[in-house]
Structure 1
Amino acid sequence: MGFTALVEEYRGGTLENVHYGAVAVVDETGKVIHKAGDENFVTFLRSAAKPFQAIPAMKRNVPGIYGLTGREAALFAASHRGEAFHIEALESMYRKIGITEDMLHCCAAYPLNEDAKAARHRAREPKRRIFHNCSGKHAGLIALSKHMGWDERTYYEASHPVQREIIETAAYFAEVPAESIPGGIDGCGLPIYALPLHKIAFSYLKLACPDRIGDTATREAASAIARLMNENPQMIADTKFVCSALLADENLVAKGGAKGVYGIGLRKERLGISLKVSDGAEHVWPCIIASILERLGYGNRETIERLYALAPNTIANDGGTEVGERRAVFAWA
């Protein structure tokens, strides 16, 4: 499958686990300049697609039409983890758009943030659709459908205009024919698409450097959603997650997805990065991404340290005693 060892984990000096995967780094023309493993490996973007899924709504100025704040509109591209401030912003957004929670196609869930989840359990609250990490994205698509006069109840169907526009957007960013893109159904029930890793990296390069986008409306929409992500990093994930830590750096636009996929665009350096952890592990993202940035000579050490603070390369046992270490072991081809 073209995977290589990305991270090794040791306990007491003995190798205990290996996480395999692939990494691609492209320049502003889409040329692969660094890789580990197969840069052509095709993978579903999952939630790493959210900034691109938000483009159609941003092109129609949906946030402005409904009077949304930046914090609320940023949730169009978020995998929020259900903290109280996320739910407050979502409820405000729903009131402004004029939609109800039962209109969301995503299932009822508890928050992904452990503290937020525990708080809902203590309050004996049931699962809710608004707690689902994709509820902001769904609201954005319903809002766009409402504004365009499209059926608001079937926005999740692949044949719906909003979904057709999303796949055309994905094809435009990746510069591939739309009919060549494999499709599937995401965890939240919406259509999702797959691309080669180097095309994911190229798409994120354009998100970070929208001057590479020829169409004016798409270019302005990409700039707008990326700006909202950087201005509201904690809305995109939560206070203790990789996406928010990276987006606090105004030079980066970044978003991860389920099953270990991640995309990053670097503005000043004009680079795109993508990675896939083959076993879907997310706890090794900080180790891999920090190592990539270090190897690229990235100048903002504070960003790299934030990643290591989230998931130190030292491995501790349940009592907090250091018992092992984690190492990024991939080499550029």
Structure 2
Amino acid sequence: MTFPVIAKEFRGGELENTHQGIICVLNEKKEIVYEKGNAEHSTFYRSAMKPIQAIPIFTTNVIEKYNLSNREAALFTASQRGEEYHQDALESLMKKLQLSEEMLVCNKSYPLNEEPKQTYIWEHKPPRRLLHNCSGKHLGFLAYSRERGYGIDRYTELNHPLQQEVLHLVADLSETPFDQINTAVDGCGVPVHGVPLKNMAISFLKFVVPELNKDLKTADAVKKIGNVMNQHPEIVASHNFICTALLEDNNIIAKGGAQGVYCLALKKEKISIALKVLSGSELVWPVIVAELLKDLNYSNTDTIDRLLEIRSNSIRNDNGKIVGETKVFL
């Protein structure tokens, strides 16, 4: 199978990188209004699945029971990057939930962002499970499993009741038959599911058009999830990152995943977008998404400007000098 080119990077006028990919844009009727490549191509959600994985805990009273702030609850959806504000929120969340770090299956890690990582190593601190990119999601899994009496020692296994609930939610939100869902293991050790890119876009559409969810508890949960993500976008990713730049716009729900997967949806317009950069690059996300929003005549130009502040069409060297450009092909 061949895939179309969606972006090229030039340095000094010479082609340096070519990024093939797939893009799918849906309207509120789940109809494709724009397609680049084959939107039926199966794609793993990776961390773009986190808002769906958070639905179970948002159907409980755990947030109220343990007096969690919205900032702490946002960690259930987050790919946190180890900034001090992430560390503080994670410590508080773990303490309130009365969970221990040893319960987490995710690997011990240093902060992902360079500045807190350097500080952490300079202070001779050891890596921690709590600093793993997915630790907030795992704390949510543990709290939900305990609340439902499922047991927590095998919470990452596909046959665990929690993971079966997540699988059913993926099927329901994406409207994908079970026999068409691909399942593997994500980087943090939990099951990750793959669906056609169009169906991935359908699942994100249901976060901005909650009434499309047939189950009322799910519809209520996606509203709550969208609210905490918009209220604390820096928790979901970090400053100078695409998820944060998009979530600062209350009209947008967005989440990216490893290996080039990105999903977002617009509330007022009732439009969803799913894309996959087949090179796995995340660097071209801001430029591609900015161009898509421009093509959709998106009214909030501040959001587009924020994206291009992270990564513009101009490629700069370490001294800030323009040395090349990125061209997007829609």
TM-score, with structure 2 as normaliser? 0.98
Q: By how many angstroms is 1:61 displaced?
A: 2.7
Matched, 1:301 2:311: no
* Structure 1 stretches of at least 4 aligned residues deviating more than 4 Å after TM superposition: none
SS in 1 for 2:259: helix
Worse-matched range after superposition: 176-185 or 204-213: 176-185
Q: Is the 8 A contact 1:28 1:202 kept in 2?
A: no
- Residue 200 of structure 1 is matched in structure 2 by 200
1 CA distance for matches of 2:136 and 2:162?
15
Amino acid at match of 1:312: S
- Residue 130 of structure 1 is matched in structure 2 by 130
1 CA distance for matches of 2:211 and 2:303?
25
- Identity percentage over the alignment? 44
Distance 1:102 1:205, change over 3 A: same
Q: By how many angstroms is 1:306 displaced?
A: 0.2
2 CA distance for matches of 1:225 and 1:234?
15
Give the root-mean-square deviation of aligned CA atoms.
1.0
1 CA distance for matches of 2:57 and 2:45?
19
Q: Is the 8 A contact 1:41 1:196 kept in 2?
A: yes
Residue correspondences, number: 330
Worse-matched range after superposition: 208-217 or 187-196: 208-217
1 CA distance for matches of 2:94 and 2:135?
10
1 CA distance for matches of 2:154 and 2:66?
21
2 CA distance for matches of 1:195 and 1:63?
30
Q: Is the 8 A contact 2:76 2:139 kept in 1?
A: yes
Q: Is the 8 A contact 1:2 1:38 kept in 2?
A: no
Matched, 1:217 2:217: yes
Q: Is the 8 A contact 2:176 2:195 kept in 1?
A: no
SS in 2 for 1:254: strand
Q: By how many angstroms is 1:165 displaced?
A: 0.2
- Residue 94 of structure 1 is matched in structure 2 by 94
Amino acid at match of 2:110: Y
Q: By how many angstroms is 1:2 displaced?
A: 4.5
Q: Is the 8 A contact 2:180 2:195 kept in 1?
A: no
SS in 2 for 1:16: strand
- Residue 260 of structure 1 is matched in structure 2 by 260
Amino acid at match of 1:280: G
- Residue 185 of structure 1 is matched in structure 2 by 185
Alignment of 1:48-59 (within 5 A): 48-59=48-59
1 CA distance for matches of 2:152 and 2:329?
48
- Residue 21 of structure 1 is matched in structure 2 by 21
2 CA distance for matches of 1:61 and 1:111?
30
2 CA distance for matches of 1:65 and 1:263?
31
Amino acid at match of 2:82: G
Alignment of 1:103-142 (within 5 A): 103-142=103-142
- Residue 237 of structure 2 is matched in structure 1 by 237
Unpaired segments of 5 or more residues in structure 2? none
1 CA distance for matches of 2:145 and 2:16?
50
1 CA distance for matches of 2:203 and 2:81?
25
